[in-house]
Structure 1
Amino acid sequence: MTASISTRSTHIGIAAASIPSVSVNRRVARGTLKPLISTQGSVMPPRDTSRRLSPQVLSQDTDALNGFNTVEGYSTQRKEATPEALRRAHQVMLTQQQSETEKLALFRAASDAARLAEWEFHNTILTMKEVVRGQFGVDSNEAQAVGLKKKSERKRPTRPKAATAS
């Protein structure tokens, strides 16, 4: 029985004993390359399900499903590969994508509303500071209480000393 070994970057469809790549053999021997063994004995590549599939891959998968719908006489013992399971997985994917799109739209709307509320709050604070400055004066304790600096506490500008020629 021959097993096909897959690394993350290359796919080798030959017998495991006749692999010319020494680095793959070393990684398998060291245990740093850990291929997944399926129930049929063939070696499957590890899958990173934390990243999104590209639209190109999803389009190819949809095309494959549409082509599969024309196949007659297909039967399998694997429950995850039955025609019903394929259609159900496709429908679940479409439903979840629609839900994601709706939630993204709601998120963007909520984000815009929060941003506008932040600006409205900031502008009202600036207006309040102007009113306090006008009502109590620029050198008052009230102006200092709302975060303004008293005029008397400002550092006076100094002229730079002229450089003396030697």
Structure 2
Amino acid sequence: MTDTTRRLAPKRIAQDIQALNSLRAIANYAPMRPEASSQTLQQAYQAMRQSQQDEVVMEATFKATRDRARAAEWEFHNAVLAMKQSVVGQFGPNSDEIQAIGYTRATMRKRSSRKKSLATGEDLSQ
């Protein structure tokens, strides 16, 4: 059974279009199946072309919308960073206000402990 959920390869579509165009050269074509009639084939071809054109337009619209959303996200992020810097500048690094915006108060940070340096010349392989 054919998987109709995947797209057809452009090569296959080009072959189908070539077959449709070649059908015009057959003067006495009279199919028994209604879905194989020249008129039905022409309508299906036009519907495919219109859908492909709509897809291109919608894809361009989607890309433009995605770019606008990305720019708006960065604008918002930069505004939040500016707000956080303003809060630190206005209230100081040890205030309740900076804790409210997600920063750690200066007095609550762990101080880094210094590691004792080894005397030069000691052998560490023992």
Q: TM-score, normalised by structure 1?
A: 0.70
- Within the candidate set 105, 117, 131, 2:60 is matched to 105
Deviations 1:134-166 (A, max 9, x none): 000011000110111111111111112345867
In structure 2, what is the Cα distance between the partners aligned to 1:78 and 1:160? 86
**Alignment RMSD, CA only?**
1.4
Give the structure with the higher percent strand.
Answer: 1
* SS of the residue 1:76 aligns to: coil
- TM-superposed deviation, 1:71: 1.2
2:115 maps to 1:160: yes
Q: Between the two proteins, what is the percent identity of the paired residues?
A: 44
Structure 1 segments unaligned to the other structure (5+ residues) = 1-45
Structure 2 segments unaligned to the other structure (5+ residues) = none
Map of 1:31 onto structure 2: none
Map of 2:35 onto structure 1: 80
* SS of the residue 1:70 aligns to: coil
- Within the candidate set 45, 55, 60, 1:90 is matched to 45
Q: For this pair of structures, how many residues does the alignment match? A: 121
Map of 1:136 onto structure 2: 91
Map of 1:43 onto structure 2: none
In structure 1, what is the Cα distance between the partners aligned to 2:51 and 2:13? 14
2:19 maps to 1:61: no
In structure 2, what is the Cα distance between the partners aligned to 1:104 and 1:69? 33
* SS of the residue 1:148 aligns to: coil
Amino acid across the alignment from 1:82: S
Q: TM-score, normalised by structure 2?
A: 0.91
Give the structure with the higher percent helix.
Answer: 2
